[in-house]
Amino acid sequence: MGYFFSSGYVLLLVMFGIVPSVYAIFLAFTKDGAFAGFGNFVKVFGDYRFWPAVQHVAAYVMIWLISLVIFVVLLSLLVHAIRARFFSTSVRFFCYIPGALAGASSVMLWLFLLDPTVSPVSGILKAFGFETFVQTVALDNLPVIFTLIAFWTGAGGWIIIMYGALNNIPVEVMEAARIDGAGPIATAWHIQIPLMRKWISYMAVISLAAGTQLFVEPRVLGQASKGVVPPDYSLNQLAYLFAFRQGDFNGSAAISLLLLLVSVGLSAVFVFRGGLFERD
């Protein structure tokens, strides 16, 4: 029965994961049907847009992952500490609401929040010296802006998952900590967070995969700002330009393969360091 229930996922994985990846590998190492070696990669590395896109994605992913791990774990601990059942349920519900919005819809909402002329938080934006939408979405601000958008849409779901992980901690362990005199901070640091390690690693792996695929947010902001955010801001956007503007699917596949390799390598670090597949 277990094989039956997992067969649907395996089928989708093969159709939309493994087969496209194998085809991308084929395209990345060929040109006009002939073996090209690393020629496509050399061409991509030499493109003037490639390394700026790498820097943009790296800055965003670093800020995004660090803020996600810190604030999601902290907020989940606070929500779990709420004893009133109705209040705890309400907080978790409101945390999840932003995640129900699709990526493009979320960015559209943030277009109003980031415009000081119409934003309900215009006072905060003006306090930072932003008088216009163009000033707000300047290139140097984008990693933080994309982090805020991603956190607003995705953190709520992870808070609920971490809340469930906290509920799985044996009551006997928590009672033993209280008997030993451990306060809330000591209990969280020495017991709850270490026992959440696998879930934190899982969150980091999934969020890393999503972060490296940055596309919708800069594309929508670029259209709204009339070119302030360039169309080649992220690696996914650059791969899109290679494929559909330049007709170079081989170069696009090379960028996609590089993204895959980097994501797999960094995910492996989180998996092994976090003991994701270790048996308790």
With contact defined as beta carbons under 8 Å apart, do 110 and 224 qualify? no
User: What residues of the chain score a pLDDT lower than 70?
Assistant: 84, 98-104, 280
Looking at residue 218, its pLDDT comes to 92
Q: What angle do CA 153, 155, 160 make, to 5 degrees?
A: 120
Give a yes or no: residue 240 inside a domain: yes
Looking at residue 256, its pLDDT comes to 93
Give a yes or no: residue 136 inside a domain: no
Cβ neighbour number for residue 253 with a 10 Å cutoff? 25
Q: Over the stretch 50-71, which tens digit does the pLDDT of each residue have? A: 999 999 999 999 999 999 999 9
d(CA 83, CA 189): 20
Of 202, 196, 209, 207, residue with least CA distance to 162: 196
Looking at residue 15, its pLDDT comes to 95
Give a yes or no: residue 121 inside a domain: no
Structure-block tokens of residue 251 = 């170069």
Give a yes or no: residue 182 inside a domain: yes
Helix/strand number for the chain, H first, E second: 16, 2
Give a yes or no: residue 158 inside a domain: yes
Looking at residue 277, its pLDDT comes to 75
Give a yes or no: residue 82 inside a domain: yes
Cβ neighbour number for residue 19 with a 10 Å cutoff? 11
Domains held by the chain: number: 1
Give a yes or no: residue 175 inside a domain: yes
* Residue 138 half-sphere exposure toward CB, CA atoms < 13 A: 10
Looking at residue 270, its pLDDT comes to 85
Looking at residue 160, its pLDDT comes to 86
Give the range of the structural domain holding residue 201, as residue numbers without chain letter.
Answer: 29-100+142-273
With contact defined as beta carbons under 8 Å apart, do 149 and 64 qualify? no
Give a yes or no: residue 21 inside a domain: no
Of 232, 211, 257, 267, residue with least CA distance to 62: 211
Q: Over the stretch 207-221, which tens digit does the pLDDT of each residue have? A: 998 899 999 889 988
> In CATH, what number is assigned to the domain containing residue 85?
1.10.3720.10
The DSSP bridge partners found for residue 35 are: 30
